[in-house]
């Protein structure tokens, strides 16, 4: 028996919400669907939780630390585990996305063709989570 659903929105824990928003909203074009109330914290003024959407894809971001508890810099031992997570986005033209991002993301690697028939562009967000924009290779 299939369970009826309307979609999925993974929740990612982020070190710095303004940095995460600069990446997802300002660089990639995600729109804010909903957010918690903005609060003043020792780390700045922002929402601790965001629901974002890019086309049919939804993600949620949540700050990893409560107010006043965030360390001065990202904890390497925490972030190294983020590379285990990769979000895959279907798209029509991987190369066009690369052309839009290559000057804004220094060091981004051009798309490659996977042996299973997908053209893929991989990148990482500020917290080390992987993102892959992919399209079927037309034969």
59 plus 90 within the same structural domain? no
Report the sign of the C-alpha dihedral through residues 72, 77, 83, 85, in that order. Answer: negative
61 plus 105 within the same structural domain? no
Specify if 20 maps to a domain.
yes
Specify if 56 maps to a domain.
yes
The yes-or-no verdict on residue 111 having pLDDT over 80 is: yes
pLDDT at 44: 85
Q: Rounded to an integer, what distance in angstroms lies between the CA atom of residue 26 and that of residue 22?
A: 5
Name 39's Cβ contacts closer than 8 Å, sequence gap at least 6.
45, 46, 47, 48, 67
Which two tokens mark 51? 């629901």
The whole domain housing 44 covers 7-66
pLDDT level of residue 22 (50, 70, 90 thresholds): very high
45 plus 86 within the same structural domain? no
118 plus 91 within the same structural domain? yes
pLDDT at 66: 84
pLDDT level of residue 105 (50, 70, 90 thresholds): very high
Number of neighbouring beta carbons within 10 Å of residue 21? 20
11 plus 54 within the same structural domain? yes
pLDDT level of residue 43 (50, 70, 90 thresholds): confident
Specify if 1 maps to a domain.
no
Average pLDDT (62-69) is 88
pLDDT at 139: 61
**C-alpha 80: how far from chain center:** 16
Total number of domains in the chain: 2
* CATH number of the CATH domain containing 129: 3.10.180.10
């Amino acid at each position: 028996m299939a369970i009826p659903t309307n979609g999925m929105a993974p929740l990612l824990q982020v070190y710095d919400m303004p940095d995460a928003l600069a990446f997802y909203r300002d660089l990639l074009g995600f729109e804010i669907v909903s957010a918690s109330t903005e609060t003043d914290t020792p780390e700045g003024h922002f929402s601790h939780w965001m629901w974002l959407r890019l086309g049919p894809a939804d993600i949620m971001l949540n700050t990893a630390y409560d107010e006043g508890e965030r360390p001065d810099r990202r904890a390497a031992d925490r972030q190294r585990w983020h590379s285990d997570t990769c979000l895959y986005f279907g798209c029509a033209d991987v190369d066009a996305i690369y052309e839009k991002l290559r000057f804004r993301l220094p060091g981004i690697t051009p798309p490659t063709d996977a042996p299973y028939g997908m053209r893929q562009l991989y990148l990482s967000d500020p917290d080390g989570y992987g993102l892959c924009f992919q399209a079927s290779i037309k034969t």
